[in-house]
């Protein structure tokens, strides 16, 4: 081990922090010298054991060697003085017990010398002079004790030997007192040095701690400054990059705008040509075309519109002033919807200037937007005069109603057998009740005549005649029979009245809708065709939905629809079959009627034309071809729809969908 390594080791242990390297080197040299003297002393002990020639002495010699090895460890651990003293006493007692057991006088003698040496070594620590004395003392005592063999004669030798031999405890005490005195003297001598070194060490530690704290704070400041510097550099770099990107973006935008300007010039040229074509088209259009800004101020009206509304070419007017009052209210509701739907189509009434006569027009309103559809340029309206068309439609509706009435009368003619059957039962009921009713009247009339005779001339003969009439029948039975007969007649008359009312309702022309029970209408209609179903051997399967709501409709017209569909189904099943009728509540505001037959069905080319007027597959004179056409028109009047599914040889299914409440035109 070199001196530098040793010094570093002691500095880490905190022992030699304030010592110079040269001083530590000298202390290590002294320790090596003491170690050399200890080795000589061990050789002396070995020589003594050889002279005595006793196994016990050899054993004691090895115990002494172990004790020598233990002392440097105690010194290295820096044990407290009291702890070292107690440990030495423990060793002495053990060795003394060992010597006492073997009873060797020579061992007692060698023990004292060894004790002095070991005690001095234990308490002297770094004192080199005392260590040399402790190492040399066993050799001197050996010569002194064995004067007959090795030691010279001294005057006090006998006294010392006697004291050692016969006052063992006193000698042991004197030796330990001597050791304690030497230790205290050494500690007092070196305490101020140790205190000084301790204070210097603490001061150096505190100074080192402060320096470390200052270094730590400076290091933190440096780190913070470094981070701030990095942030500043990062921000400035980022700003430079952003500026560079911004400049590149501006450059690209500038180049793009130049390119867009060139494209715009080209597009503008094309747009001017297209605008010229558009202006020519609008100018020569037969429809009224009006352009207005978002406030409704008219900015353009084509010549056809000026002629229709009798306006001058440069007239300043608002679009609302050109609308009739009801149409103006409708336009105020429509205008906000244009921003969502972009266009609207319907009927609006225009007012010509000066005339005040409404002009019914089919209007198409839409917003004119830019190419990207981000900005609205103006509001455009195309108005087509449909007064002649409306008149034609009204005329067509009148014709349809006339045809419907004729078809209804034809249906009534076809249903005559059913109506007669319905009337026959209550009439037979009434006729069957009149004969017994007349007999009871004649009987009561005879009794009244007898009563009058008895009152006029109360004779025995008249009284006997009255008794005979009274025995012929019971009065209570007659009264009950009369009451039953009158009830039967009344029920038959009520039934006839109901049938006539239903027939009148079916034949009556209706002007207004009303809420009605669809299932009840179907049952009333089926009442007219049941005799025909029985005659043709057709099974009726009718089931109405239990939760069907009332619908707004023309009851008689719906009855005509049901009767016409059932009549067509009967004609499609000449050899019998099955007629199935159902009602459904399909949606929240819609119901459905299905009429299904198991007849011959229709091919595809017939099914496509089934609702066209005057189209029929029957022979000439057997049908007009207007039945399903009228059915289709009635369903459309109710705002519904009708479809048919049919396969040749598998029957047909008619499906009618009707709204629960009819949507009016003014809503």
DSSP states along 254-310: HHHHHHHHHHHHHHHHHHHHHHHHHHHHHHT-SSEEEEE-TT-BEEEE-HHHHHHHT
Q: Which residue carries 């501006």 as its tokens? A: 250
Residue 284, phi then psi, degrees to nearest 5: -100, 10
Please say which residue of 138, 166, 194 terminates a domain: 166
Q: Does a structural domain hold residue 475?
A: yes
Q: Are residues 447 and 588 in the same domain?
A: no
| CA angle 608–614–620, rounded 5-degree value | 110
Residue 649 Cα distances to 439, 539, 562, 564, 642, angstroms: 60, 18, 23, 21, 22
The answer on pLDDT for 166 being more than 70 is no
pLDDT number for residue 15: 41
Write the CATH number for 586: 3.30.565.10
SS3 content of the chain, % helix, strand, coil (to 5): 65, 15, 20
Q: What is the mean pLDDT of residues 180-200?
A: 62
Q: pLDDT band at 484, cuts 50/70/90?
A: low
- Please tell me the pTM assigned to this model: 0.36
Q: Does a structural domain hold residue 343?
A: yes
C-alpha–C-alpha distance, residues 530 and 513, integer Å: 28
Q: In this structure, are strands 538-543 and 577-587 parallel, antiparallel, or unpaired?
A: parallel
More confident residue, 64 or 16: 64
Q: Does a structural domain hold residue 340?
A: yes
Q: Are residues 16 and 151 in the same domain?
A: yes
Q: Are residues 475 and 338 in the same domain?
A: no
pLDDT number for residue 655: 94
Q: Give the strand order in the sheet containing 358-369.
A: 298-301, 288-292, 376-385, 358-369, 343-351
Q: Are residues 154 and 14 in the same domain?
A: yes
SS3 labels along 94-158 = HHHHHHHHHCCHHHHHHHHHHHHHHHHHHHHCCCHHHHHHHHHHHHHHHHHHCCCCCCCCCCCHH
Q: pLDDT band at 165, cuts 50/70/90?
A: very low
Q: pLDDT band at 118, cuts 50/70/90?
A: low
Q: pLDDT band at 430, cuts 50/70/90?
A: low
The answer on pLDDT for 408 being more than 60 is no
Q: Does a structural domain hold residue 173?
A: no
Please say which residue of 131, 166, 201 terminates a domain: 166
Domain count, the chain: 4
Q: pLDDT band at 17, cuts 50/70/90?
A: very low
Q: Are residues 534 and 492 in the same domain?
A: no
3-state secondary structure at position 339: helix
Q: Are residues 145 and 44 in the same domain?
A: yes
- Residue 429: partners with Cβ closer than 8 Å, 6 or more residues away: 488, 489, 491, 492, 495
Q: pLDDT band at 313, cuts 50/70/90?
A: low
In this predicted model, what pLDDT tens digit does every residue of 63-89 receive, in sequence order? Answer: 555 555 555 555 444 445 555 555 555
3-state secondary structure at position 581: strand
The answer on pLDDT for 12 being more than 50 is no
Q: Does a structural domain hold residue 589?
A: yes
Give the end-to-end CA distance of the chain in Å, rounded to a whole number: 114
Please say which residue of 344, 362, 385 terminates a domain: 385
Q: Which domain holds residue 54?
A: 3-166
Q: pLDDT band at 161, cuts 50/70/90?
A: very low
595: left (phi over 0), alpha (psi -120 to 50) or beta: beta
Token representation of residue 373: 């559809």
Selection from 127, 131, 114 nearest residue 37 by Cα: 131
In this predicted model, what pLDDT tens digit does every residue of 320-348 receive, in sequence order? Answer: 888 887 787 778 888 777 777 778 888 88
3-state secondary structure at position 420: helix
């Amino acid at each position: 081990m070199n001196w530098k390594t040793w010094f570093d080791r002691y500095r880490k242990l905190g022992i030699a922090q304030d010592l110079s390297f040269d001083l530590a080197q000298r202390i290590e040299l002294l320790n090596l010298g003491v170690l050399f003297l200890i080795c000589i002393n061990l050789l002396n002990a070995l020589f003594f054991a050889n002279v005595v020639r006793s196994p016990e002495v050899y054993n004691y010699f090895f115990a002494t060697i172990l004790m020598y090895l233990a002392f440097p460890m105690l010194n290295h651990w820096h044990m407290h003085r009291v702890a070292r003293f107690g440990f030495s006493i423990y060793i002495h007692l053990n060795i003394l017990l060992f010597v006492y057991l073997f009873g060797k006088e020579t061992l007692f003698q060698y023990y004292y010398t060894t004790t002095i040496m070991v005690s001095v070594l234990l308490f002297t620590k770094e004192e080199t002079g005392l260590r040399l004395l402790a190492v040399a003392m066993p050799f001197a005592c050996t010569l002194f004790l064995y004067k007959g063999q090795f030691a010279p004669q001294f005057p006090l030798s006998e006294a010392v030997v006697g004291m050692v031999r016969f006052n063992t405890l006193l000698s042991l005490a004197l030796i330990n007192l001597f050791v304690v005195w030497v230790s205290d003297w050494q500690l007092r001598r070196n305490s101020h040095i140790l205190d000084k070194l301790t204070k210097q060490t603490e001061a150096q530690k505190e100074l080192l701690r402060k320096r470390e704290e200052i270094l730590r704070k400076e290091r933190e400041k440096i780190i913070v400054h470094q981070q701030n510097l990095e942030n500043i550099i990062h921000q400035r770099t980022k700003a430079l990059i952003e500026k560079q990107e911004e400049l590149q973006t501006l450059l690209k935008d500038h180049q793009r705008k130049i390119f867009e300007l060139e494209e715009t010039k080209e597009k503008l040229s094309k747009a001017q040509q297209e605008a010229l074509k558009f202006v020519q088209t609008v100018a020569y259009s037969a429809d009224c075309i009006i352009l207005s800004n978002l406030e409704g101020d008219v900015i353009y009206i084509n010549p056809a519109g000026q002629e229709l509304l009798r306006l001058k070419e440069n007239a300043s007017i608002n679009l609302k002033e050109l609308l009739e009052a009801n149409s103006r209210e409708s336009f105020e509701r429509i205008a906000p919807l244009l921003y969502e739907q972009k266009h609207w189509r319907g009927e609006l009434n225009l007012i010509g200037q000066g005339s005040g006569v409404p002009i019914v027009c089919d209007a198409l309103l839409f917003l004119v937007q830019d190419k990207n559809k981000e900005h609205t340029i103006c509001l455009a309206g195309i108005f087509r005069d449909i007064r002649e068309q409306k008149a034609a439609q009204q005329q067509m509706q009148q014709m349809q109603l006339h045809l419907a009435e004729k078809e209804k009368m034809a249906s009534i003619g076809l249903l005559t057998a059913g109506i007669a059957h319905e009337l026959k039962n209550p009439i037979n009921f009434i006729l069957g009740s009149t004969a017994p009713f007349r007999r009871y009247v004649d009987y009561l009339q005879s009794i009244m005549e007898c009563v009058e005779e008895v009152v006029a001339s109360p004779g025995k003969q008249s009284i006997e005649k009255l008794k005979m009439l009274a025995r012929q029948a019971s009065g209570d039975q007659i009264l009950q029979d009369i009451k039953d007969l009158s009830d039967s007649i009344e029920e038959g008359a009520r039934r006839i009245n109901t049938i006539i009312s239903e027939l009148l309702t079916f034949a009556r022309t209706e002007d207004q809708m009303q809420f009605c029970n669809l299932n009840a209408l179907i049952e009333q209609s089926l009442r007219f065709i049941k005799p025909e179903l029985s005659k043709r051997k057709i099974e009726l399967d009718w089931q109405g939905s239990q939760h069907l709501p009332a619908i707004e409709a023309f009851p008689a017209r719906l009855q005509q629809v049901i009767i016409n569909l059932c009549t067509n189904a009967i004609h499609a099943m000449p050899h019998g079959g099955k007629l199935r009728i159902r009602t459904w509540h399909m949606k929240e505001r819609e119901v459905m009627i299905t009429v299904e037959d198991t007849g011959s069905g229709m091919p595809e080319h017939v099914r496509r034309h089934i609702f066209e007027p005057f189209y029929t597959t029957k022979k000439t004179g057997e049908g007009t071809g207007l039945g399903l056409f009228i059915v289709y028109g009635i369903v459309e009047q109710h705002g519904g729809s009708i479809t048919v599914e049919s396969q040749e040889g598998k029957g047909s299914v008619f499906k009618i969908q009707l709204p629960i409440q009819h949507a009016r035109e003014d809503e």
